[in-house]
Structure 1
Amino acid sequence: MPEFDTLHVKNIVLLGHAGSGKTTLAECMLFEAGIINRKGNISEKNTTGDYHELERERGNSIFSKLLHVKWRGYKINIIDTPGYDDFSGEVIAALRVADTGVMMLNAVMGVEVSTDIIWDYTEKFRTPMIFAVNKLDDDNADFDKTVREAKANFGSKVVMVQYPRQTGAGFHEIIDVLRMTMYKFHDAGGKPDKLPIPDDEKEKADLLHKELVEAVAGNDEALMEKYFDKGELDEDDMKNGLKRAMIGHDLFPLFCLSAERNMGSGRLMGFIDNVCPSANEMPAQVTKKGDRLPCDANGPACLFIYKTVSEPHVGELSFFKIYSGVVKSGMDLENETTGVSEKISQLFLIEGNKRTAVNELVAGDIGATLKLKNTHVNNTLHAKGSNYELPPIEFPSPNMTVAIETLKKGEEEKLSQALHQLREEDPTIHVEVSSELKQTLIHCQGDMHLAVAKWKIGHNHKLDVRFIKPRIPYRETIRKSAEGSYRHKKQSGGSGQFAEVLLRIEPWYEGMPEPKDLTVRVRDNYDLDWGGRLVFYNCIVGGAIDTRFLPSVLKGVMEKMHNGPLTGAYARDIRVCVHDGKMHPVDSNDISFKIAGLQAFRQAFQQADPQILEPVYVVEVLCPDELTGAVMGDLQSRRAIVEGMDNERHFRKITAKVPLAEMDGYSSALRSLTQGKAKFNMRFASYEPVPGDLQRRLITDYNATAKEEYA
């Protein structure tokens, strides 16, 4: 039998901005539970969580880590997550399988931008949440300001369970208004003395206790009646009421910490095992078909893969949460997505980089297994015949794109394999081989994300690569009508080649009238793969060109639109009317009319006031108010058009339209400009005309490198 039943397994995720103390708190929890006998330190690069070589090199968390402790009859699974938004995929995946979130707030910095962004994900998952105000021992700590910002950002649902009697270097006393006790810590932290609340704090503590009781009662009608009758709620009432309110996302208890000095972590752990919900107390999962899947150990086995890691000399380690049944080593499960049968040959409990083999895990627990054949992140494995498929994790869209190439020729296949593995481990990285730009592109979350990808490629695959600026997917179009004609004649003995094509091109727009001076015989509309439209008219009268040659003319036009006349970029939104020409009874053929159509189109295009279009993106930047001017100045230097500024919680949101060509390096520039206090996202908006000077430069650059076209 499993060591812990479902009710006694708690899954928590540590969240917060970089530097808020998540990894240090995780270290405290391991130490308090006796898993480790000495707390590691980030500055000494010896924490259990940040074990990866790259994390110790950089001094911050990059990957989510699974840890666990045994605490007073409960097993607490802890997922420590990175704080930089470049690694938001790790946070979202962890939130998907956690049953409670612990949001760390830095008492020096207050509510920071990444905290705000992460909160949106917790709202989406409806994750029960705890706030933990950390670093109260810092001389610049401001507990009251941090609480005000938390309430301003996350609402009145934030309720104080604790407050510090003092902050700064003298911080060592926490007043708990749930238990109406003062915890007094010794210099080394650890287990505190439990003392009565001092007289000079009694009035404040009583007031906050009353607010807490009323907040709990206010979310439960039966408790409200009991509170009105007795004027108080007992400990069990408070425990059950808090749990229900947290599950309903109606209350967010707030605690005090100094993780560095191990003050407050034990009380937080006690609250987690005593109040926070187990997986079977949370709402049942709903499958993609709409069926309910209760977290029940007696149900059919069902697990969900939320993360994979490739380990050297071992293979892929797949992390999962069991949503139903009991999973045992040696069990055969079916992958609902791929239909493949997978054998769970080994089961592991994970402690950072350490694996402990177990024979079985119960519903609600989190573990890992090795060497699944064809199972990936977001796949559901279940007992045969169950046919459960859980909804996938929706990962964020990329904010940054670069081109990648190897420094040595002949290593393209090796790079392809490396990028495939990178994508398997990190679903927030998208890899694209662009036939349009003739580059291999990596789409990612930011420059730190990219640096990690490069490190993995170099260390795990022994490949030297470089990132270069991606080419911009410009488009070409026209702004007025023009005529074009071309006679193709070639004689080389025997049958020759002959075709003459006269055509008109016009800017196409939705609802434009039919040409009045031409007889339209056939109209064809083509929605182009690269966006926009080609409308092709057969306006031939009197059989000047046989109908059978019109597809060849169209083929020539389409070929030139695929490789535009100005810069080789795709052309779009053009109407072509073929209205005259000549043919020869012997020498005319398909290739002749294709060439004539292409050259007539190219000639007309150059006379039709051609225009290069560039992709423009909507960029939204979230930053503190005092940094607004600097952020706007930088955007305007990038040819941005600022469309508005709004308040979003206690941050400023700047919305601007920015050409993609100007967004190169923006991630690192914004981080440098704001010391990491700002966050941005971008999405495609439209194609817009480039300025005249830029158009001339693009054409000149293209003509200098383009090969002469065969005609």
Structure 2
Amino acid sequence: MKTYDEKHIRNIVLLGAAKSGKTTLCETMLFEAGIIPRRGTVEERNTVSDYHEVEHDRGSSVYATCLHTEWRDYKINIIDTPGLEDFIGEIISSIRVCDTALLLLNAQYGVEVGTSQIWDYVDKYQKPTILAVNQLDTEQANFTRTVEEARKVFGTAVTIMQYPVNQGPGFNSVIDLLKMTLYRFPENGGKPEKLPIPDSEKEQAERLHNELVEKAAENDDTLMEQYFEKGNLDEDELRQGLKIGMLKHQVFPVFCLSATNNMGSGRLMGFIDNVAPSSLEMPPEQAEDGSPIPCDPAGPPVLFIFKTLLEPHIGRLSFFKVLSGEVKAGAELYNEKGNTAERLNQLFITDGKNRQNAEILRTGDIGCTLKLKNTLTNHTLSDKQYGKQVHPIDFPRPKVRVAIEATNKGDDEKLGEVLSEIHMEDPTLEIEYNRELKQVILHGQGDLHLALTRWRLENIYRMHVEFLPAKIPYRETIRKPANATYRHKKQSGGAGQFGEVFLTIEPYYEGMPPYKEHPVRDTEEIALTWGGKLVFNNCIVGGAIDSRFLPSILKGIMEKMQEGPLTGSYVRDIRVSVYDGKMHPVDSNDISFKIAGMMAFRDAFHQASPQLLEPVFDLETTAPDSMMGDIMGELQSRRSVITGMDTLNGYQVIKARTPQAELDKLYAALRNVTQGKAKINAAFAEYAPVPPEIQKKLSEEYKGAELAPSY
């Protein structure tokens, strides 16, 4: 294929809520440019971008797909993204490497919740943005309402470039305010007829054109002076002003589309060519050390891997953007994070599952290569002497979790390997091998995200798995002091075992008074790996217990703290004072005092008003005002404590404290009652006491499990 220089490459990420028409628009753009001979449809499962089996099953995008089109001597790289928050990792990585966001709005539904959630990341990265109102040919299409909603969510930067003359069934005409021309499309779409603006539309067109001119002029002092002098700007000056405004994130041009009927894509691609910025015009990427990575065609080659995909029968595909210099097929570059040299034997331009060989890719271009050994998403390839690593993509933390195990226990090791592969492809899916809970836990972005993982395991990897509730990492502590004595005595012929321990346990807190019941010879303060502390006081006097047995007593206590007496959970925040005991000159040994210390601690714990603690999270829910009642009801029914309320950009924000035991179900419930329109964020806050009735239930379940016979 033709090799394009850095000035003639545009990188577009196609964004929008589910069913906004992104995949259909891709088909139309590729068809109009002659890249494909006919347009496929999502319903017929023959589109270029949605080519995976799971996407055919679902009828919507799951993966971000790289495509390209060529329009009037420009190459436009397009990344078609999913529209659901569950697949946000695919969306974020695509936003990161593209230079312009093309955000589709469904003319029937306006700014949907999926759109506003995606917008948060576009705004975070300050990407130049084009808005396209699609499906103007539908019965419920309402361009004016859609633009008004866009201005509420995105601000006054929303700037009308086109508006429809006859939206709804029969839609075929738009007025372009940059060219001040009416475009009328033939019945089957394609190249429009250019006509004068009719008299009935001239007043509105002139008013909106003047607004466009003012918006373009206000972003540059020189253009503003020309506007004051002439009272207008010519077409080239308008383009210049719009580009400056887009780069400043202060102009979001609005276009009109019917992707299904092939109306409006050619004009949109022309605007992308002429106005949307190239990588050369964008702020440089940042290295991990904060220094800039100049987008320099003459600089050293620097490639940033933004996506990894495992394709059956092909292997690992690594998608990259050339941030600097150029890369040729066969080049050898160095990966500092992987500590390895990688040879790029082949370079490709991809259109869905189709790949075209490329001999060279220049600054700003997007491509892929095969079978890199130690290079993953967020890695940088460059000359070994270059030494800089691109600042990684910051993926969001998971929101829901589930335990997973292989149906066939012999597949446990294979399951671990497969999950590692899936995580390599999808960094937003985290795998935790939790020794405390004795479970493998999947952490994902939502129930659909986890369901997709299960689908892949069963349909791609042919592994049968079970999803189970993830256990809660409870903690145990005490509320009052208690004393206990335990004698371990065992005689079975030959040397016996003997050890006796007297100890006191107390609730520990920072700054508590010193222990005064017995003289303290020495103190050991242990920061526990699972949180909290153990303070161990040696109060032995007169040689009642030899000092060499104290570490064994401590070891026994620590072992019991790793499987607490109440529910088998970790124990925290306790002060133990060993003040007396007995030993035998022959039968006393380390194991005897380890057992005596463990059992004395257990007995004292049960007398010290045991308290079970549960992890509690700070939860923040943002949603429209009309949904507050339903949200409050769900929160209060799941043991949440409301801690505050606020408003943000026209939405209501509810803050609450929610126990982790309720969190997974609550997340699903909130998405259900808000039809997915709520933004939900949670972060660990503290461990808090469990209500008495729940503590009793969990303690009884633990005792029942201990007493249950094993076969």
TM-score range, shorter chain: over 0.9
Tell me what 1:217 maps to: 217
CA distance in 1, matches of 2:508, 2:180: 75
Matched, 1:627 2:616: no
Cα deviation digits, residues 111-167 of structure 1 (max 9, x gap): 222222211211221211111112222222222222122112121111111222232
CA distance in 2, matches of 1:335, 1:707: 55
Tell me what 1:573 maps to: 573
Cα deviation digits, residues 28-60 of structure 1 (max 9, x gap): 111111112222222222211111111011111
User: Is 1:2–1:361's contact at 8 Å kept on the other side of the alignment?
Assistant: no
Partner of 1:597, secondary structure, is helix
Tell me what 1:166 maps to: 166
Matched, 1:444 2:441: no
Partner of 2:38, secondary structure, is coil
Tell me what 1:641 maps to: 641
Within-5 A mapping of 1:125-524: 125-524=125-524
Tell me what 2:68 maps to: 68
Tell me what 2:56 maps to: 56
User: Is 2:257–2:263's contact at 8 Å kept on the other side of the alignment?
Assistant: yes
Q: C-alpha displacement at 1:539, in angstroms?
A: 2.0
Q: C-alpha displacement at 1:667, in angstroms?
A: 4.6
CA distance in 1, matches of 2:33, 2:618: 49
Q: C-alpha displacement at 1:622, in angstroms?
A: 2.9
CA distance in 2, matches of 1:595, 1:649: 61
User: Is 1:621–1:655's contact at 8 Å kept on the other side of the alignment?
Assistant: yes
Partner of 2:701, secondary structure, is helix
Q: C-alpha displacement at 1:564, in angstroms?
A: 0.3
RMSD over aligned Cα, in angstroms? 1.7
Matched, 1:594 2:594: yes
CA distance in 1, matches of 2:291, 2:644: 44
Structure 1 range deviating more: 39-48 or 68-77: 39-48
CA distance in 1, matches of 2:667, 2:57: 21
Structure 1 range deviating more: 614-623 or 685-694: 614-623
User: Is 2:402–2:441's contact at 8 Å kept on the other side of the alignment?
Assistant: yes
Q: C-alpha displacement at 1:697, in angstroms?
A: 0.8
Q: C-alpha displacement at 1:708, in angstroms?
A: 9.3
Aligned residues: 709
User: Is 2:334–2:342's contact at 8 Å kept on the other side of the alignment?
Assistant: yes
Q: C-alpha displacement at 1:542, in angstroms?
A: 2.6
Tell me what 2:704 maps to: 704
Partner of 1:664, secondary structure, is helix
CA distance in 2, matches of 1:344, 1:292: 25
Tell me which amino acid in the other structure corresponds to 2:196: P
Partner of 2:409, secondary structure, is coil
CA distance in 2, matches of 1:445, 1:601: 42
CA distance in 1, matches of 2:284, 2:674: 42
CA distance in 1, matches of 2:668, 2:56: 21
User: Is 2:504–2:576's contact at 8 Å kept on the other side of the alignment?
Assistant: yes
Cα deviation digits, residues 646-675 of structure 1 (max 9, x gap): 333233333222211123344544443333
Tell me which amino acid in the other structure corresponds to 1:300: P
Matched, 1:554 2:554: yes
Tell me what 2:676 maps to: 676
User: Is 1:113–1:622's contact at 8 Å kept on the other side of the alignment?
Assistant: no
Q: C-alpha displacement at 1:629, in angstroms?
A: 2.0
TM normalised by structure 1 equals 0.97
Q: C-alpha displacement at 1:170, in angstroms?
A: 3.5
Structure 1 range deviating more: 426-435 or 216-225: 216-225
User: Is 1:378–1:393's contact at 8 Å kept on the other side of the alignment?
Assistant: yes
Structure 1 range deviating more: 538-547 or 561-570: 538-547
CA distance in 1, matches of 2:257, 2:640: 43
Q: C-alpha displacement at 1:681, in angstroms?
A: 2.5
Q: C-alpha displacement at 1:214, in angstroms?
A: 1.5
Tell me what 2:116 maps to: 116
CA distance in 1, matches of 2:555, 2:154: 59
Partner of 1:461, secondary structure, is coil
Q: C-alpha displacement at 1:707, in angstroms?
A: 5.7
Q: C-alpha displacement at 1:176, in angstroms?
A: 1.7
- Summarize the Cα distance change of 1:265–1:47 in structure 2 as closer, same or farther, 3 Å threshold: same
Partner of 2:499, secondary structure, is strand
Cα deviation digits, residues 200-224 of structure 1 (max 9, x gap): 2222222222222212221111211
User: Is 1:475–1:614's contact at 8 Å kept on the other side of the alignment?
Assistant: yes
Tell me what 1:9 maps to: 9
CA distance in 2, matches of 1:654, 1:224: 44
Cα deviation digits, residues 494-522 of structure 1 (max 9, x gap): 33222111111111111111123332221
Q: C-alpha displacement at 1:325, in angstroms?
A: 1.2
Q: Which runs of 5+ in 2 are unaligned?
A: none
User: Is 1:487–1:596's contact at 8 Å kept on the other side of the alignment?
Assistant: yes
Partner of 2:79, secondary structure, is strand
Q: C-alpha displacement at 1:643, in angstroms?
A: 2.5
Tell me which amino acid in the other structure corresponds to 2:617: Y
Q: Which runs of 5+ in 1 are unaligned?
A: none
Tell me which amino acid in the other structure corresponds to 2:550: L
User: Is 1:113–1:623's contact at 8 Å kept on the other side of the alignment?
Assistant: no
- Summarize the Cα distance change of 1:2–1:169 in structure 2 as closer, same or farther, 3 Å threshold: closer
Partner of 2:581, secondary structure, is strand
Tell me which amino acid in the other structure corresponds to 1:623: A
Tell me what 1:659 maps to: 659
Q: C-alpha displacement at 1:456, in angstroms?
A: 1.4
Q: C-alpha displacement at 1:80, in angstroms?
A: 0.4
CA distance in 1, matches of 2:109, 2:523: 64
CA distance in 2, matches of 1:169, 1:702: 65
User: Is 2:3–2:360's contact at 8 Å kept on the other side of the alignment?
Assistant: no
Cα deviation digits, residues 509-538 of structure 1 (max 9, x gap): 111111233322212221111111111112
Partner of 1:167, secondary structure, is coil
User: Is 1:447–1:667's contact at 8 Å kept on the other side of the alignment?
Assistant: no
CA distance in 2, matches of 1:544, 1:146: 83
Matched, 1:541 2:541: yes
Tell me which amino acid in the other structure corresponds to 2:613: L
User: Is 2:14–2:22's contact at 8 Å kept on the other side of the alignment?
Assistant: yes
Tell me which amino acid in the other structure corresponds to 2:72: R
Q: C-alpha displacement at 1:621, in angstroms?
A: 2.5
CA distance in 2, matches of 1:640, 1:381: 47
Tell me which amino acid in the other structure corresponds to 1:67: L
- Summarize the Cα distance change of 1:29–1:441 in structure 2 as closer, same or farther, 3 Å threshold: same
TM normalised by structure 2 equals 0.97
Tell me which amino acid in the other structure corresponds to 1:112: E
Cα deviation digits, residues 45-102 of structure 1 (max 9, x gap): 2211111111011111000000000100000000000010000000011011100001
Percentage identity across paired residues of the two chains: 56
Structure 1 range deviating more: 652-661 or 664-673: 664-673
Tell me what 1:98 maps to: 98
CA distance in 1, matches of 2:198, 2:336: 60
Structure 1 range deviating more: 666-675 or 567-576: 666-675
Tell me which amino acid in the other structure corresponds to 1:285: E
CA distance in 2, matches of 1:137, 1:708: 66
CA distance in 1, matches of 2:221, 2:15: 32
Tell me which amino acid in the other structure corresponds to 2:475: R
CA distance in 1, matches of 2:142, 2:650: 17
CA distance in 1, matches of 2:247, 2:214: 18
Tell me which amino acid in the other structure corresponds to 2:457: I
